[in-house]
Amino acid sequence: MATAIPMIELWRGGMLESEHLGHAVIYGPGGIEMAWGDPDAVIFPRSSVKMIQALPLIESGAAQAAGLTDRQLALACASHSGAALHRDGVAQWLHALGMGEADLRCGAHMPRDREERRRLTCSDEAPCQIHNNCSGKHAGFLTLNRHLGGGPEYVDMSHPVQQAVKSAFEDVTQEASPGFGIDGCSAPNFATSITGLARAMQFFAAASPAGSRREAAAARLARAMAQFPEMVAGEGRACTELMHAMGGRVAVKTGAEAVFVAILPEQKRGIALKIMDGGTRASEAAVTALLIRLGALERNHPVVDRLLTGTQRNWRGIATGELRLAPGFG
C-alpha cells in the first residue's frame, strides 16, 4: 500500500486540488516491461476479469453447444449500461436457453443508460436482474451451468461454475489466489497481484486461435470484446469509447474500485492498473495514458480529451481545471 505512487492529479486555479495513487504493470512476452507502484500489490480485479470468468464457457464447449455469437460473448464480458440493446440481448439469450430473469443471481439495479432509466422511472417500472450491468456474465454462467448440469445456485464458491472460473483464473494469472470477495453481482471475485492480472491480460493478448483450447477461448473473447465495444459497456462509457477509438485492435475493461485492464494482441502485451482510492476518473485517465504510451491510442483522439487532457468545465461552461499525469507516471 505504502508504495502506491501518484498517478493522476486534479488541478484547479493553478493549484493541485486532488490526487490519485495507484499501481500499474505492463506485461509483455518476456515478463514485466514497466511497473509503477508495487507490482506485487494484491487487489480485487472486480469486473476487469470478466473475460477470464468467461473462459470456461468456451473451453467447456458450452458456448458452441448454445450457438453463442461473438456479440453474445462480448456481452458475457460486459459491465453494460442496461440500454435496450443490452437488455434485449440478455433477455433473448436467456429465452434461447429456456430460462428467464428469475434464474439469474445478480440482483437488480437501476441501469446507467439514460433512456432506459427514464423509461423505467416514468412508467413506475422497477428494474429487473437483466438490467444489472453483470447480467451478460451471468447469462454466460447459466449457459455453462446448463452444460455442466450444476444446481441453480451458480454463484456459490463450491459450485462447479465457480470452481471452473477459479481454475482458469489461477492458470492465466499464474498465481494461487490468496482469497476471494463477494462482488456486487454476488459472484466470487478472486484476488491477485497487479502483476498476475497483467500477466493474464498478456496471455489473452498473445493467445492464438490455433493454440490450446484455453488460448483459443482467450483469443476469441478478446476479439469479441474489441469487435463489439458497444456491448461491453455502452454509449459514452470509457471502455466502449476507448475500444472504438482503437478500431478493434485492443480490448479494454474497467472494474469497480478503479481497476482497468487492456489486451493488446498486436504487441502481445497486457496492462493492469488499480487506483487505490477506487476513483474511476483516475483509472480511466491512467489507462488512457498507458495506451498512448504504447502507441495503441492516438494522443489527439477526442476520447483522450474527454478522459485525460480536456479542460474541465462547470455548469456554465467556464473552465475550472484539468486532470494531469503526476510526475513519474504515464
Residues that bind a copy of itself (CB under 8 A): 1, 6, 10, 12-21, 42-44, 105-109, 118, 121-122, 132, 178-186, 189, 191, 257-258, 275-279, 282, 314-316, 318-321
Closer Cβ to a copy of itself, 296 or 326, answer by number: 326
CB of 278 vs a copy of itself, minimal distance in Å: 4
Closer Cβ to a copy of itself, 156 or 171, answer by number: 156
CB of 225 vs a copy of itself, minimal distance in Å: 24
Single-letter amino acid, residue 298? E
CB of 11 vs a copy of itself, minimal distance in Å: 9
Closer Cβ to a copy of itself, 190 or 204, answer by number: 190
CB of 202 vs a copy of itself, minimal distance in Å: 24
Closer Cβ to a copy of itself, 15 or 176, answer by number: 15
Q: Which is it for the CA torsion 88, 89, 91, 93, positive or negative? A: positive
CB of 15 vs a copy of itself, minimal distance in Å: 6
Closer Cβ to a copy of itself, 106 or 261, answer by number: 106
Closer Cβ to a copy of itself, 158 or 314, answer by number: 314
Closer Cβ to a copy of itself, 258 or 264, answer by number: 258
Looking up cell 430460462 gives 99
Closest CA to 296 of 240, 249, 241: 249
CB of 49 vs a copy of itself, minimal distance in Å: 14
185: cell is 453481482
Closer Cβ to a copy of itself, 44 or 141, answer by number: 44
CB of 266 vs a copy of itself, minimal distance in Å: 33
Q: Which is it for the CA torsion 287, 290, 294, 297, positive or negative? A: positive
For residues 330 and 271, the answer to whether their CB atoms sit within 8 Å is no
Question: Each residue of 302-328: b (16+ CB within 10 Å) or e?
Answer: ebbeebbbeeeeeeeeeeebebbbbee
Which phi and psi (to 5°) does residue 280 adopt? -65, -35
Sequence-distant (6+) residues with CB within 8 A of 209 are: 215, 216, 219, 220
What DSSP designation does 329 have? -
- For residue 40, CA distances in Å to 19, 68, 179, 199 come to 22, 37, 15, 12
- State the Cα–Cα distance between residues 117 and 104, nearest whole angstrom: 20
- State the Cα–Cα distance between residues 191 and 169, nearest whole angstrom: 10
- For residue 25, CA distances in Å to 141, 163, 180, 323, 327 come to 29, 27, 21, 21, 17
CB of 148 vs a copy of itself, minimal distance in Å: 22
